[in-house]
Structure 1
């Protein structure tokens, strides 16, 4: 069965929204930035405050706050990422339950539930929170 890996929030300013939720939730905190991550961001002209993907960790699923450059208000602003051992099998299974595939991306498949809410199916062990439209290797490392 899939597990909820993370809950993804689309955001205008990910660092600000991440700080808010880290303050609201007990035992949750913004994932620390190590020197290598700060250097990687600097190489992209970014800082932790302008990072397009900010993670918040705690006792439950991680929360992922991602900037979405072309926000489409026909989709939901919060979605689940489900980690599974076999993406193709689970895409087929949820489709048989009424979901439909929206698109395949590198590292995840975007699905829509019967009411049109998006969720992603990822392979267990794949990097977290792959921002839509950003290739693996460009997302924030854990």
Structure 2
């Protein structure tokens, strides 16, 4: 099963925008290590979290909003999405503190970026 884990917003002022959505959605700001730039708002219930990152907007590579999909089998999901018409940009791995995350960046058939990760 695939679900939307995170909705990412490219913005000029992540702190300000995260504060707005935190209040608007009765969310709660996630406490992240100081080395991580983005702001994350955890939403109540099972809906996707909101991630706010300082990024340029309006180019093919850096879209204002993209989806982060979570699945138990990232590689199988990426293969299924490729069969449906998506293309893979790259796969990245990042370690922060004791947690390592791997995600694959894809484009839908019209070039909109999104990511697939494991929970």
Note whether the superposition's TM-score is higher than 0.5. yes
Unaligned runs of 5+ in 1: 45-50, 125-142
| TM-score, length of structure 2 as denominator length | 0.80
Partner Cα separation in structure 2 for residue 58 and residue 72 of structure 1? 26
User: How many residues are paired up?
Assistant: 108
Aligned to 2:83: 96
Aligned CA RMSD, in angstroms, stands at 1.9
Give the 3 Å change call, closer, same or farther, for CA 112–3 of structure 1 in structure 2: same
| TM-score, length of structure 1 as denominator length | 0.68
Structure 1 runs (4+) deviating above 6 angstroms are: none
Unaligned runs of 5+ in 2: 94-101
Partner Cα separation in structure 1 for residue 43 and residue 60 of structure 2? 30
**Could you give the per-residue CA deviations for residues 62-118 of structure 1, whole angstroms, max 9, x where no partner exists?**
1011123x6671232111111111111111100110110011111110000011111
> Which of 89, 93, 116 is residue 121 of structure 1 equivalent to?
116
Structure showing greater Rg: 1
